[in-house]
Structure 1
Amino acid sequence: MSLWETLARARTASGDEIVLRQRGEIYEIRYNGIELMSNLNHQSEMQLAMRSMWRLNFQANRVLIGGLGLGYSLRALLDLAASDAEVTVCEIIPEVVAWNRGQLAHLAGSPLHDPRSRLVVGDVRDHLASSKGRYDLILLDTDNGPDFVVRPENESLYQDRGIADVAEALTPGGVAAFWSATASSRFEGTLSRYPWSWIREDIALVPGRVDAMHHIYSCAFDSRVLGLKQAS
């Protein structure tokens, strides 16, 4: 078995260490020694975009993605979006952006080069707070989800204020979807306190297997968008 090779290393202003490394065809980004993302299993990241676009009949023209990752969610979204769509991607770590334009660009087919992509280097929480009623679709693939954040500042995104900001940034018929590494009863309780409908879908890391799952939480004010009966 080949050994990991460190391709790049960066440090945030707060002292956190980010490492890009490679072993064979596997690329991995680690944050303070914890795996944050890799290209080994990205089925659920692509499903995050594909299922959400399907729910909106592929008519979402203003989309926000929170977290660039390795570009898989952005690629899946662009492959389904109209030619005049605008897809905003918020990524707080400049080095992740640089790596997606360099060593990692080939993994998802260079989605940042697509003219429909609009990059915001900054915190998605700040962007949401200033985007009331702007987006038809919001995809949040931020950190590792509500139960396993490696960047403590991201906790608030999955709490009441963060959920309210997400909801307020949607257009009336819009959809918000959250990626999560775990099924989170705590997060489900938070979603249930907000006046919208939500569902959880469990996505196999490897198609056909049921022993390891990632999860997608989808939310909408019109429950029919989620395939649920409208409340009377």
Structure 2
Amino acid sequence: MIPWEHLATSSIPGSEGDMKLMRRGAEYSIMLGQIELMNSRLSGSEEALARLSVEKIAGRAAPTIVVGGLGMGFTLRALLAVAPEDARIVVCELVPAVVAWARGEMAHIFEGCLDDPRVEIVVRDVAELMAETQSHFDAILLDVDNGPEGLTSDVNDALYAAKGLGEARRALKPGGVLAVWSQGPDERFAARLRKSAFDVEEVRVKAHRGKRGARHVIWFGTKPDA
């Protein structure tokens, strides 16, 4: 078997751990210690996050979509495939090195999507962007960390707490959608989402594109029109 090659390491704002970029042949992995955060072979649920979110805001003129977390670009590439040509997509990435890797070691995986005219890459905490915005976004997609059960940063945990959910709701236009990706189910988070005055739908999606394998969870919280 081809051994893993360690390509780069980066610190994580708000965390004592380090994030590592690894490669094995054509396969890439981003790891926190011995925990794999994402792998270039697994993209099914992230693609579903993008596709289903766009379906929920279909018909809106020039929608503004925020993505929390760049990762390996699965969500962004899927968004670009289904979002209208007049969409504006703002991607917030907390770790500067992840953006550098996207333009460097993993540029072939991103296939030039960072340079799409609809895309703006912002190196900052998506929570800060939501906190300073009111009734502006049509959709907010959170593909951050491991979902509500975070691994990488205490900063990320605040996104999924009541305060963070309240800020997301205020940042959305009436009828706007908050979409949250998770490694697995979390009843406490689902309850917080409902208490934050969202209309909630929970969807189980395949982690892989194939018929078998693990399933991840996506929550959709819709802000009522009135």
The residue number in structure 2 matching 1:208 is: 211
**Contact 2:203/2:219 (CA < 8 Å) preserved in 1?**
yes
The answer on whether the counterparts of 1:145 and 1:179 sit within 8 Å (CA) in structure 2 is yes
SS state at 2:20 partner: strand
Q: CA RMSD in A?
A: 1.7
Counterpart amino acid of 2:206? Answer: A
TM-score by length of 1: 0.90
Give CA deviations for 1:78-106 in whole Å, capped at 9, x if unaligned. 11222222110000111000111112122
Contact map agreement 1:135 1:171 (CA 8 A) in 2: yes
How far apart, CA to CA, are the structure 1 residues paired with 2:155 and 2:34? 17
Q: Give 1:185-196 correspondences, 5 Å limit.
A: 185-196=187-198
Aligned-partner Cα distance in 2 for 1:120–1:108: 16
Deviation at 1:15, TM superposition (A): 4.4
Matches for 1:82-231 after TM superposition, within 5 Å:
82-206=84-208, 207-209=210-212, 212-222=214-224
Residue 107 of structure 1 aligns to a residue in which SS?
helix
Aligned to 2:2: 2
Structure 1: runs of 5 or more not aligned: 224-232
Correspondence for 2:11: 11
Instruction: State the alpha-carbon separation in 2 of the partners of residues 222 and 7 from structure 1.
Output: 46
The offset of 1:219, in angstroms, is 0.9
Distance in 1 (CA, whole Å) between partners of 2:40 and 2:199 is 32
1:38 pairs with 2:39:
yes
Distance 1:150 1:11, change over 3 A: closer
Instruction: Show CA shifts across 1:124-148 (max 9, x none).
Output: 1111101111100110000001124
Deviates more, 1:147-156 or 1:126-135: 147-156
For 1:130, the aligned partner's letter is E
SS in 2 for 1:179: strand
Give, as a single letter, the amino acid of the residue that structure 1 aligns with 2:53: S
Give 1:151 deviation, angstroms: 1.4
Partner secondary structure for residue 97 of structure 1: helix
Q: Which has the higher contact order (CA 8 A, sep 6+)?
A: 2
Q: Give the secondary-structure state (helix, strand or coil) at the position aligned to 1:198.
A: strand
Number of residues paired by the alignment?
222
